[in-house]
Structure 1
Amino acid sequence: TAAVAAGLALVGLVLLWSVLEPAPSAQASVTGGIAYDVAVADSHAFVAAGVHGLRIVDVSTPARPREVGSYDVPESASGVVVSGRRAFVFAGGALYVIDVSDPTRPRGLGVLAALGPALGAAVGDGHLFVAGGELASAGNRGLHVVDVSDPARPRKLETLTVFGPPTSSVARAGNRLYFTAATTSNASAPTQLVVANASAAPALTFAGALPLAGIGADLDVRDGVAYVAAGGGGLRIVSLADAARPVELSAATTSGCARQVAVAGPRAYVVAGSSLDVVDVSNPAQPKPIGSTATSPRVGALAAQGAHLFLAAGTDGLQVLDVSTPTQPRLVGTYLPGR
């Protein structure tokens, strides 16, 4: 799940039109590459664009996105996290730390070359917490703690290994970290929601776990509740009030295998099969599906910001949806990479 802090996440050839008027005046902008992941901060979209590296796009005027900067990396950029003046880009098993204080002139600061493939990361207190999944080598599977307090010299300090390899990204709330992991070394085994204590980071300690129905693929944490996209298990909703004993509150059936989830306000947005499902979670114990729309079956990342959703859909590009009417989500923009 990509993080969106402000504005719109738009990269590549973006076709946007007003949701109040017809489309003939749509504006276009080209950056190229595939939008694997997106983070937005201070009206700029930071895009992991495959072989085109990191692309930085000014989205202060959402209908007229404009590329203002870029940074090439030796391998295909597949993930990005932004915190303050730093962008952390994952590419080819390495971590690149980039100064983006001036988005028009991003500068490389440091590289950690042997991190291994990452499913995602969270930032906090000078540390980057990185989920290394099944595709990583045996020594790089688990939840890694990377010291980024000196951005010129990122260092992997610790790795927490529990059960099998992580199967989702990692979410951070306070001193707790949350991710899903297989129950055995086989990533297709049943999964558990894992809670780790990061209060003494870089040392991490296991706090608790909850077996899940289905295969945990993504999660979001809001107000002491975890929302887990659990494949054939749909959307699982878990109370985190007691970190040692997370308790499942409820579940919602989805249109297909739930792969991605993002929560904004009283709504959970779930990518399931070839659909986007909207679930009312104003009462987490009683979720109510309220809307759905067809979308790309290739969506691999989802972010929510205000009345918009941003779906990174691989070769189908980045899709922007208006969810101001949650019962009728509508596609309002499409990024077509390299066209």
Structure 2
Amino acid sequence: MHISGRIRRCRQTSGTSISRWRRSLVDSQNKVHAPCGSTAASQWFFPMKNYFSVKRYGRKKGANEGRICMSKRFRLVLATHFVLLCLFCNNSIAHAACEPHFTPIVGTLSVESVNGLAVSGDYAYLTTWYGLTIVDVSTPASPVQASSLEGIGSCYGVAVSGSYAYLASESYGLFIVDVSNPEAPVLAGSLATPAYQVAVSGAYAYVVGSAWLQVVDVSNPASPVIVGSADLPDWPNDVAVSGSYAYVAVGLTGLCILDVSAPASPSIVGSIDTLHLASGVAIDDSYVYVADGYAGLVIIDVSLPAVPFIAGTVAAGLPFDTATDVAVNGDIAFVTSYYAGLQIVDITSPVESFVIGSAPVQSSFPASYVAWDGDYAYVVAYGYEENFLVVDVSDPLSPHMISYHSTLGPAYGIDVSGNYAYVAEEWEGVEILDISDPAAPEIVGGVDTPGRATELIVSGNFAYVADGWGGGLQVLDVTNPSTPHIEGSVATPGLAVDIALSGNYAYVADSTSLLVVDVSSPQSPFIAGSLDISALRVAASGSYVYVVGSPTGLRVVDCSNPAAPVVAGMVELSGPRDVEVQGSYVYVAAEETGNFGVHVVDVSNPSAPYIVGWVGAQGEIHKIELADSCAYIAGNSYTYSPFLQVIEISDPAFPISLGSFSNGITSYDVAVSASHAYLAHYAFGISVVQLCPELFRINLEAPADLAVLSQPPTFSWTASGGTNNAFAVDVSASAGFTKYWSTYENLHQIITETSWAMSPAVWDMIPAGARLYWRVRGADLDVAPLDIITSDEVWSFTKE
């Protein structure tokens, strides 16, 4: 499968294979230049020796033999490095939100009671309670039923080989169907043996059912014959065959490996207890991929079938999510799971596999089966409505969950500031998490507020908390996140449910009123004014406050006189849920003719606001977050599947839905920082979603390894992930790169393209006949802290 030229296997080199590794920029710079006094440095043909002068000192026990002194030229170089380092750092901490790319579901079809799936060519073969349904997928956006073969009973597993489809029926046996004309399938033969799943290789079908595997000779499709069988330790869920071995997913027992080189006497030669429930199995080279229930994807090395071992694992999604099936295509594994839908996993290195994308299955039933062909993955979900889905995976990099953290209480509100996430957890108060590594949030502190914390906002050294009944507004000092404390508070007459800040004022949605609270002194906040109005959600900008309540819609409140706020304008909306403001536009989550969506309201004239745009949402909206040119919506779909929907709002009059992500848990709030979204779940937890993939792989392209060159080369490479990438080309006389010359350290260049042409001046410094090694380093400048990776390969070239 072609993945936009960006995901591929690591090519082997004739020299040392350099695996993917990461290190900080500072550490990278510390290893660049050879010590000035070394012979290697003085013989190195690049003019590094001009950067240094060396003074020798008499030996002293414990002292260095030589010390490096900076020449004027080197001090200039060092200053330049400092400027470049600042450029890296400043870009990395800008925290500009990225615009995510979604793996799109391009086609759907409703097929009743699907139990199994296989894809071959332009057709998908689906087993149902009634037999076989064949779907034409030649136009992926418009799959249509081509034909069906019913009346043979409920079927489960299906395999396609050549002109035949093989159907496994637990009650009726193995059916062989001639599908040479997919528009008119014909039953060619059958075998009365209880069957649950089937795989085909050559002239044999391998059928599993009850607690056994049977080898069936299908060389004559009209008269299949059982030629051998072997007992299994438990009920089998799936089977795959490669070469002389069959691999069976045997539920709680794990994986069983059978030698089928002698079809008449198959036998178990190896087994391994997987971590949970082995449900689906796929084989690629010497690795078996098992969809293993709660354990997610388990990757097993079967290079020695008698002694298989677990090489790596990848979580299915959320804790207690359940992986149900797996398909493998080169460097990519597609895994279905109950809640997360389709997970796309990079398996280039089975030991270090990781999720790179996902596609939600907006169904009231979980995703169950997956198959792939070309640029498309095909997914079946239990249920009746649009349960067959075609997913475009030509560019699989898309939002996916990278971590989940259980909280002490139900997470209602969340805000992110710097390296910390602040979570409002009802009766448990506020919890503070260190998210400097978004893949591993850690709790560092918390405050038990007197009420029920439902929403909060962080500004500077203080967190302002809407603390429900009895709690009112709580002001927390979070100067030291590990020891936060209540700095001040003010009681409110109603139920404090939301809060916004502008200048020295906090605006509290207190259910039946809007409160204007002076927080210029955090130690002693006080209510400066109020307005009797239904207030469930609130946003503020300058001296205007935007309030939504039920059933009053949107109210624009002029708070230029905090003691006497007044309604300046209004827009009637049905069932408003949330409100946010950016510039001259307010974004309101509300209903429109029975459907939820986001209304865009022009408030440039506060006394006459009006709706300029609207975009539909996938269901009920709980929260809106604005970040740069996107709106992020947390809610539940109409089939009760939770979602995070991303809407482009660069043109407020024409908002566009970019796509959605689902992880199966209802989200009540969302915060966005750089390339991550942080979701607060009522089910006692927060999850971190990677919106845009960070730079995670660099592969060399040209000049080819071992090339002999007569002129300055143009180096080129591919990069996987990253939204604002910068690169450096390193050249060395050693494959180990103990000393090297670099476009960054020596030419002071930051390369933003995926190619670099060596100048004739640099080329002329290379002696004829010299063999040099090259690699590429890179970093995504939008990621903080900066993370440097190197190319998977080290290649070499020789100058004629």
Q: Deviations over 1:259-306 (max 9, x none)?
A: 211112221111113232111112122111122233245211101223
For residues 602 and 449 of structure 2, the distance between their equivalents in structure 1, rounded to whole angstroms, comes to: 42
> Would you say 1:82 and 2:419 are equivalent positions?
no
For residues 409 and 493 of structure 2, the distance between their equivalents in structure 1, rounded to whole angstroms, comes to: 30
Q: Is the 8 A contact 2:434 2:442 kept in 1?
A: yes
> Would you say 1:272 and 2:590 are equivalent positions?
yes
Q: Deviations over 1:88-124 (max 9, x none)?
A: 1233532211222343443321122455432211223
1:323 to 642, 649, 664: 649
> Would you say 1:262 and 2:580 are equivalent positions?
yes
> Would you say 1:200 and 2:521 are equivalent positions?
yes
Question: In structure 2, what residue type is equivalent to 1:259?
Answer: R
> Would you say 1:243 and 2:562 are equivalent positions?
yes
For residues 396 and 570 of structure 2, the distance between their equivalents in structure 1, rounded to whole angstroms, comes to: 35
Deviation, structure 1 residue 6: 3.4
For residues 30 and 293 of structure 1, the distance between their equivalents in structure 2, rounded to whole angstroms, comes to: 31
1:282 to 589, 604, 615: 604
With over 3 angstroms needed to count, the CA separation of the structure-2 counterparts of 1:306 and 1:126, relative to structure 1, is closer
With over 3 angstroms needed to count, the CA separation of the structure-2 counterparts of 1:235 and 1:8, relative to structure 1, is farther
* SS of the residue 1:146 aligns to: strand
* SS of the residue 1:77 aligns to: coil
Aligned ranges 1:223-234 → 2 under 5 Å: 223-234=542-553
For residues 31 and 111 of structure 1, the distance between their equivalents in structure 2, rounded to whole angstroms, comes to: 27
For residues 98 and 481 of structure 2, the distance between their equivalents in structure 1, rounded to whole angstroms, comes to: 27
Question: In structure 1, what residue type is equivalent to 2:522?
Answer: A
Question: In structure 1, what residue type is equivalent to 2:518?
Answer: N
Q: Is the 8 A contact 2:425 2:454 kept in 1?
A: no
RCO higher in structure (CA 8 A, sep ≥6): 1
Identity of aligned residues (%): 27
Q: Is the 8 A contact 1:259 1:271 kept in 2?
A: yes
> Would you say 1:171 and 2:489 are equivalent positions?
no
Question: In structure 2, what residue type is equivalent to 1:161?
Answer: A
With over 3 angstroms needed to count, the CA separation of the structure-2 counterparts of 1:307 and 1:58, relative to structure 1, is farther
> Would you say 1:7 and 2:97 are equivalent positions?
yes
Q: How many pairs does the alignment contain?
A: 283
Q: Deviations over 1:120-175 (max 9, x none)?
A: 112234221100124xxx4xx31112222232222234331132121x31111121
* SS of the residue 1:149 aligns to: coil
For residues 64 and 297 of structure 1, the distance between their equivalents in structure 2, rounded to whole angstroms, comes to: 21
* SS of the residue 2:436 aligns to: coil
TM norm structure 2: 0.33
For residues 396 and 503 of structure 2, the distance between their equivalents in structure 1, rounded to whole angstroms, comes to: 32
Q: CA RMSD in A?
A: 3.2
Q: Is the 8 A contact 2:487 2:522 kept in 1?
A: no
For residues 562 and 506 of structure 2, the distance between their equivalents in structure 1, rounded to whole angstroms, comes to: 10
Q: What are structure 2's unaligned runs of at least 5 residues?
A: 1-94, 105-139, 142-314, 320-354, 358-394, 666-800
Q: Is the 8 A contact 1:299 1:312 kept in 2?
A: yes
Deviation, structure 1 residue 62: 12
Question: In structure 1, what residue type is equivalent to 2:415?
Answer: V
For residues 146 and 220 of structure 1, the distance between their equivalents in structure 2, rounded to whole angstroms, comes to: 20
Q: Is the 8 A contact 2:590 2:598 kept in 1?
A: yes
Q: Is the 8 A contact 1:122 1:170 kept in 2?
A: yes
Flag the structure with larger Rg.
Answer: 2
With over 3 angstroms needed to count, the CA separation of the structure-2 counterparts of 1:93 and 1:58, relative to structure 1, is farther
Q: Which residue of 2 aligns with 1:308?
A: 630
With over 3 angstroms needed to count, the CA separation of the structure-2 counterparts of 1:58 and 1:157, relative to structure 1, is farther
* SS of the residue 2:535 aligns to: coil
Deviation, structure 1 residue 209: 1.0
Q: Which residue of 1 aligns with 2:462?
A: 127
For residues 231 and 143 of structure 1, the distance between their equivalents in structure 2, rounded to whole angstroms, comes to: 22
For residues 224 and 149 of structure 1, the distance between their equivalents in structure 2, rounded to whole angstroms, comes to: 27
Q: Is the 8 A contact 1:9 1:310 kept in 2?
A: no
For residues 275 and 68 of structure 1, the distance between their equivalents in structure 2, rounded to whole angstroms, comes to: 28
> Would you say 1:151 and 2:473 are equivalent positions?
no
For residues 87 and 9 of structure 1, the distance between their equivalents in structure 2, rounded to whole angstroms, comes to: 21
TM norm structure 1: 0.73
Q: Is the 8 A contact 1:298 1:316 kept in 2?
A: no
Q: Which residue of 1 aligns with 2:398?
A: 64
Deviation, structure 1 residue 310: 0.9
> Would you say 1:106 and 2:441 are equivalent positions?
yes
Deviation, structure 1 residue 332: 1.5
With over 3 angstroms needed to count, the CA separation of the structure-2 counterparts of 1:83 and 1:210, relative to structure 1, is same
Q: Which residue of 1 aligns with 2:621?
A: 299
2:572 to 253, 257, 271: 253
Aligned ranges 1:204-219 → 2 under 5 Å: 204-212=525-533, 215-219=534-538
For residues 121 and 109 of structure 1, the distance between their equivalents in structure 2, rounded to whole angstroms, comes to: 18
Q: Which residue of 2 aligns with 1:336?
A: 662
With over 3 angstroms needed to count, the CA separation of the structure-2 counterparts of 1:81 and 1:236, relative to structure 1, is same
Q: Is the 8 A contact 2:489 2:523 kept in 1?
A: no
Q: Which residue of 2 aligns with 1:180?
A: 509
Question: In structure 2, what residue type is equivalent to 1:270?
Answer: V
Question: In structure 2, what residue type is equivalent to 1:275?
Answer: G
* SS of the residue 1:220 aligns to: strand
Q: Is the 8 A contact 2:579 2:624 kept in 1?
A: yes
Q: Is the 8 A contact 1:279 1:287 kept in 2?
A: yes
Q: Is the 8 A contact 1:8 1:62 kept in 2?
A: no
Question: In structure 1, what residue type is equivalent to 2:477?
Answer: D
